[in-house]
Amino acid sequence: MTSSAEYLAGRISETARRLRPNAIRAMAPLLTRPGLISFAGGVPSAATFPADAIARIAARLIREEGSRVLQYGMTRGNRELAGFVVDRLRAKGISWTSPESLLLTSGSQQALDLLSRVLVDPGDVVFCELPSYIGGLSSLWAAGGDLVGISLGDDGPDLDELERRVLAVRSGGRTARLVYTIPTFQNPSGITASASSRAALVELAEKLDLLVIEDDPYSEVYFDASAPPPASLASMDTGGRVIYLGSLSKVLCPGLRAAWVVANPEISRYLELAKEGADLCSSTLDHAIAAEALREGLVDDRLPGIRSFYAERCAAMLAALQREAVPGCSWTLPTGGLFVWVTLPGSCDARQMLDACVDAGVAYVPGQPFFVDGSGANTLRLAFSKEDPDAIDAGITSLFRIVAAG
């Protein structure tokens, strides 16, 4: 009888030893508890999925075009879906988008994984926000990236700090060519970088010869119809610096794994090669359904409803926070997306507090795993996407009862 360590010794690669469990997904078993009010999983609400329309589209596509939608597809992806995405991105000002710059992927997580493999060698320094999205960090770590955090303020990352750190890393003889940012309704913080901060980041990328990964799954989900978020970094670029990731997960549904990455065609060619080795092709059916959904206007027609759905839940959460939060707390005021970020008094430890909260019937994600520097013990992420306004109100009340007792 050998132990795990003995069995694995000499069998598992260095790459495998770099893999880190995703702290959010590791919580999933905890969240199956009946009656739990969950602010933990940052998944879109199933109430926003147009199930009947998707059922109709799926049945028709499979019956009438089964020989196409049940067969292997091209690695670069469904051409119709690609066409719709190119049109949408050009309409959003990312004028350099082209079929040669676009790769369709099995969710944005796959795009992050392919980018990490194509752009990061073990030991390369990659800059990310403090806090940042755990799935993106996981991919960058898996590729061997040495992740260095940059402070995130209310209007975006601290660019002076970024410049100082890039120069310091390079003066030490190390490679530092990549920044990972989520400028709009950030996961986990809910923060949106200002227009001027975006322009300054693109300018700094040019000055320092950096590539920027702009991860943008939430920007369509803004709450005030008259106030969309600032233009994307990618729209301020000419196609050499910024790599742009988008997804249908929050505006259609995530079970159909349909997302995209737009990059300089030279990089995109390598992403396609990496995807070929990763899975040959995405689900042909998923991407065919997604193309039909866009053709029918199933996303655009439903966006106003999706926006007000999340706006109402965010408002309920902010109102409850305003009423319940103990002195010394602060939180972000998101104008879109799925998340509010809470900073508790410095003496609180959100990880230690979680068990008591789950016992009291409310769950969240402790903030520390989102910080590559190990800080953030007194922070937590609240997703307002799953629960209805009354449950949000009750959950925040329970949560701060525990905080106050702690």
Per-residue CA distances from 266 to 84, 128, 180 (Å): 22, 24, 19
Return the residue of 27, 36, 69, 94 that touches its own copies, per CB under 8 A: 69
CB-nearer residue toward its own copies: 12 or 404: 12
Region 334-393 residues binding its own copies, contact defined as CB under 8 A = none
CB-nearer residue toward its own copies: 106 or 184: 106
CB-nearer residue toward its own copies: 59 or 333: 59
Sign of CA dihedral 382, 387, 388, 392: negative
- Is 77 a residue that touches its own copies (CB under 8 A)? no
Return the residue of 33, 59, 167, 174 that touches its own copies, per CB under 8 A: 59
What is the closest distance, in whole angstroms, from the C-beta atom of residue 46 to its own copies in the complex? 3
Which range touches its own copies (CB under 8 A), out of 14-22, 146-154, 305-313, 327-335? 14-22
Q: What is the 3-state secondary structure of the chain?
A: CCCHHHHHCCCCCHHHHHCCCCHHHHCHHHHHCCCCEECCCCCCCHHHCCHHHHHHHHHHHHHHHHHHHCCCCCCCCCHHHHHHHHHHHHHCCCCCCCCCCEEEECHHHHHHHHHHHHHCCCCCEEEEEECCCHHHHHHHHHCCCEEEEEEEECCEECHHHHHHHHHHHHHCCCCEEEEEECCCCCCCCCCCCCHHHHHHHHHHHHHHCCEEEEECCCCCCECCCCCCCCCCCHHHCCCCCEEEEEECCCCCCCCCCCEEEECCHHHHHHHHHHHHHHHCCCCHHHHHHHHHHHHCCCCCCCHHHHHHHHHHHHHHHHHHHHHHCCCCCEECCCCECCEEEEECCCCCCHHHHHHHHHHCCEECEECHHHCCCCCCCCEEEEECCCCCHHHHHHHHHHHHHHHHHC
CB atoms within 10 A of CB 165: 17
Region 130-159 residues binding its own copies, contact defined as CB under 8 A = 135, 138-139, 142-143
- Is 255 a residue that touches its own copies (CB under 8 A)? yes
- Is 117 a residue that touches its own copies (CB under 8 A)? yes
What is the closest distance, in whole angstroms, from the C-beta atom of residue 279 to its own copies in the complex? 4
- Is 92 a residue that touches its own copies (CB under 8 A)? no
CB atoms within 10 A of CB 62: 15
Return the residue of 98, 283, 375, 398 that touches its own copies, per CB under 8 A: 283
d(CA 156, CA 207): 19
- Is 167 a residue that touches its own copies (CB under 8 A)? no
Return the residue of 38, 97, 101, 109 that touches its own copies, per CB under 8 A: 109
- Is 303 a residue that touches its own copies (CB under 8 A)? no
Region 171-230 residues binding its own copies, contact defined as CB under 8 A = 175, 177, 211
CB-nearer residue toward its own copies: 229 or 337: 337
Which range touches its own copies (CB under 8 A), out of 68-76, 192-200, 315-323, 344-352? 68-76
Return the residue of 23, 195, 231, 273 that touches its own copies, per CB under 8 A: 273
- Is 23 a residue that touches its own copies (CB under 8 A)? no
Per-residue CA distances from 238 to 83, 91, 119, 157 (Å): 20, 15, 19, 22
- Is 58 a residue that touches its own copies (CB under 8 A)? yes
Return the residue of 38, 97, 110, 197 that touches its own copies, per CB under 8 A: 110
What is the closest distance, in whole angstroms, from the C-beta atom of residue 323 to its own copies in the complex? 31
- Is 245 a residue that touches its own copies (CB under 8 A)? no
- Is 25 a residue that touches its own copies (CB under 8 A)? yes
CB-nearer residue toward its own copies: 285 or 357: 285
What is the closest distance, in whole angstroms, from the C-beta atom of residue 115 to its own copies in the complex? 10
Tokens of 285: 């059916």
Return the residue of 198, 250, 257, 302 that touches its own copies, per CB under 8 A: 257
Return the residue of 184, 189, 264, 268 that touches its own copies, per CB under 8 A: 264
- Is 282 a residue that touches its own copies (CB under 8 A)? yes
d(CA 27, CA 39): 12
Return the residue of 23, 30, 31, 74 that touches its own copies, per CB under 8 A: 74
- Residues that bind its own copies (rule: CB under 8 A) add up to a total of 83
